[in-house]
Structure 1
Amino acid sequence: MKKFTKIVGALLAASLMAGAAFAQSPTFFRIGTGGAGGTYFPIGGIIANGISSPPGSRACDEGGQCGVPGLIAIAQSTTASVFNNAAVQNGELEAGLAGAYSTRDMYLGQGKFEGKPHPNLRIIANLYPEDLHLVMAKGTKINDLSDLAGKRVGIAQAGSGTQVAVEKMLALWGLDRDDYDEAELNQSQSAERLADGQLDAYFYAAGWPVAAMVQLASTKGMELHSFTDDDMAKINAEVPAYIPSGIPAGVYEGVDYDVKTPAVSAMLVVSSELDEELVYGITKALWNNNTRKLLDNGHAKGKQITPDTALDGVEALGVPLHPGAERYYREAGLLK
């Protein structure tokens, strides 16, 4: 009888443990990123890993995942900023990586998005600068953007913030789509076409080093256009979110010179419809020690993603922080 009681007790305990495991239903959290050859996709994957802690995971202090309990975050490859913001606005994604320029215009309903505001957009953090790469075949030089007239030019994929900004920049030098043969391609496709001689140049804004460009530089070779200070001031006046920046010599094989170029901040954007407690937990998980290790070891730009710069430019951008993120930053003493 005692043996029977022990068996029943063991089975009951196992049943209760299994019930507890199944009782915690998972919360899925989709993060829109960009093309596989750019920077958004790997960075989005690192963030997704850092904030996740699926049901049944070992506790953080036992060597398990240190994200939000029950959360399964998934990085999805997309066409980047414009698509991500629209999908967050419409509830098709919970979050997305997006450039500050397109995020501001879409939130306010201005520029290309005149009369079509996206009021659900909210910020969790400024992440890192995305430097504009104007990539050309090895041995090619231009004086300024007007020299792209009559050329075959990649202007980034439709649905990207890069394309919106680049078309504005080209217009400053008197160029519209009738003046060059445009190609709407993602980063990997652009690099392949340039290598095959099907493009003369292409634009892409991303955190360096960009994987597809690393491969291009080490195989066919490439050049990067370095803007003059006057040209960068001209661009900044028309597209204020693009600020002077640079790509150091040696980032890409054969590009042994410093490159002056404008850059736009990459933001982690979420929907205002998300629960405050959930976003608080996500923000806290983004800045914990475990995620710090993932960021530092996962990508060169990961080291630039820090809580000390998380709020840089956010107030001036005019897009509100999500209340959950704001609560975390106040508690952490990063926001007064």
Structure 2
Amino acid sequence: MKTGTLIKILVLLLFLIIGCIKVKQELFPTMVQTVPPPSEELTGRQTPLVIATGDMSGVYFPMGEAMADLFRKYNGRASGTQVTHASIQNTKLVSQKQAELGFSTVDVLALPETKKREILALTGLYSNFIHIVTTDRDIHTLEDLRGKRVSIGTVESGTKLMSERILKAANLASNEMDVSTLSFTQSADALRNGTIDVAFFSSGLPNPVISELASEMKISLVPIPKQIAKSLHEEYEFYTPDEISGQTYHGIESTPTLAVKNVLFTYPDLPKQEAYQIVKTLYEHLPESQNDRPEAREINLSEATAGIPIDFHPGAKQFFKEIIH
């Protein structure tokens, strides 16, 4: 082949290659674009603020979402929530620094196995109320739970801890019932389907899944007798006799029960200024949370540090000292 002909062929091939590249860029632009740089939110020196909450159908989760919104809006902090089995699991996640913040009931914080040196309180919150929900018209008292199918809450939840203590105080052994450990969502579905007769919920008021259930079908709440409530308060001072108002759920009258305080906590290594700012933001913008979340209306600054069995974070101490003075 002549040299001139070879050069012409090479030039033609070169033009064909360039043309193919141009067509590829026009038809498949994402294949040749460079990856955009990470957002400033992800590349900042601060790690995202993760809040360990609970079941999505409980109150911890939406309350955590509301707090995360506040921290993003007013602190410029990347924040999010993590669905968990609630209190007991939350203490483990925070103590292991797998979450920065967590919710827990006071009774779980007081357990001997809770690693109190690895978690510190930020503030007390609203109270959880025990709901003993049934669709069985023959169940009116705790005694009626014998022989019934009962969900006592998930493993590693404050619901299960409190349920077991109530049943023990009522002299009800687990082998006298068909016991299951379902989440709030699973319990509600099982009540709808008739696969369980009773479910325990430890929750702020109102609990979304119970509200939904009450709007769909006839349900009732089993009362906790005053004597049992009194004996549990004497044994565990953080359990308080209370009642679920008849205005809380459709078709349900006021029901005597037990309440227990909730706490927002963190780990000791969270910088003092960050802890201070978290608590300050929560209280400065509390009305905003109260508009969005009914249970937030129970949060009371004057009772924020009362009855909590773990130490407070230095940042939280600074905030409350400033407020008091």
TM-score range, shorter chain: 0.7 to 0.9
Q: Please state whether the residue corresponding to 2:110 is helix, strand or coil.
A: helix
- String of CA shifts for 1:66-110, please: whole Å, max 9, x gaps: 22x4x21211111100000011111111110110000121xxxx2
Unaligned runs of 5+ in 1: 1-20, 53-64
* Partner Cα separation in structure 2 for residue 295 and residue 313 of structure 1: 23
How far the C-alpha of 1:164 sits from its partner, in A, is 1.4
* Partner Cα separation in structure 1 for residue 268 and residue 138 of structure 2: 46
Between the two proteins, the alignment pairs up a number of residues equal to 286
Question: Which residue of structure 1 lines up, in the alignment, with residue 35 of structure 2?
Answer: none
2:158 counterpart of 1:171: no
2:109 counterpart of 1:103: yes
* Partner Cα separation in structure 1 for residue 210 and residue 240 of structure 2: 22
2:325 counterpart of 1:321: no
Q: Please state whether the residue corresponding to 2:212 is helix, strand or coil.
A: helix
Q: Which amino acid aligns with 1:268?
A: L
Aligned-residue Cα RMSD (Å) equals 1.9
- String of CA shifts for 1:156-201, please: whole Å, max 9, x gaps: 0111011012112212223332221111111111011011111111
Are the counterparts in 1 of residues 127 and 261 from structure 2 also a CA contact under 8 Å? Answer: yes
* Partner Cα separation in structure 2 for residue 162 and residue 194 of structure 1: 17
* Partner Cα separation in structure 2 for residue 205 and residue 223 of structure 1: 16
Q: Which amino acid aligns with 1:132?
A: I
Aligned residue runs from structure 1 range 143-222, under 5 A: 143=141, 145-222=142-219
2:317 counterpart of 1:311: no
Question: Which residue of structure 2 lines up, in the alignment, with residue 292 of structure 1?
Answer: 286
Q: Pick which of 181-190 and 223-232 moved more.
A: 223-232
2:98 counterpart of 1:92: yes
Question: Which residue of structure 1 lines up, in the alignment, with residue 71 of structure 2?
Answer: 51
Q: Which amino acid aligns with 1:310?
A: A
Question: Which residue of structure 2 lines up, in the alignment, with residue 333 of structure 1?
Answer: 324
* Partner Cα separation in structure 1 for residue 71 and residue 229 of structure 2: 37
2:245 counterpart of 1:263: no
Q: Please state whether the residue corresponding to 2:78 is helix, strand or coil.
A: strand
Q: Please state whether the residue corresponding to 1:130 is helix, strand or coil.
A: strand
Q: Which amino acid aligns with 1:307?
A: L
Are the counterparts in 2 of residues 120 and 273 from structure 1 also a CA contact under 8 Å? Answer: no
- String of CA shifts for 1:10-55, please: whole Å, max 9, x gaps: xxxxxxxxxxx68854431111001111110011111111122xxx
- String of CA shifts for 1:189-230, please: whole Å, max 9, x gaps: 101101111111111110111111011101022101122221
2:128 counterpart of 1:137: no
Are the counterparts in 2 of residues 165 and 239 from structure 1 also a CA contact under 8 Å? Answer: no
Structure having the higher Rg: 2
Q: What TM-score does the superposition give when structure 1 sets the normalisation length?
A: 0.80
Are the counterparts in 2 of residues 86 and 118 from structure 1 also a CA contact under 8 Å? Answer: no
Question: Which residue of structure 2 lines up, in the alignment, with residue 125 of structure 1?
Answer: 123
How far the C-alpha of 1:277 sits from its partner, in A, is 1.3
Q: 2:50 pairs with 10, 30, 49, which one?
A: 30
Q: What TM-score does the superposition give when structure 2 sets the normalisation length?
A: 0.83
Q: Which amino acid aligns with 1:120?
A: E
* Partner Cα separation in structure 1 for residue 223 and residue 154 of structure 2: 22
How far the C-alpha of 1:333 sits from its partner, in A, is 1.3
Q: Pick which of 165-174 and 204-213 moved more.
A: 165-174
Q: Please state whether the residue corresponding to 2:202 is helix, strand or coil.
A: strand
- String of CA shifts for 1:122-148, please: whole Å, max 9, x gaps: 1111100100000011634333x3331
Question: Which residue of structure 1 lines up, in the alignment, with residue 86 of structure 2?
Answer: 80
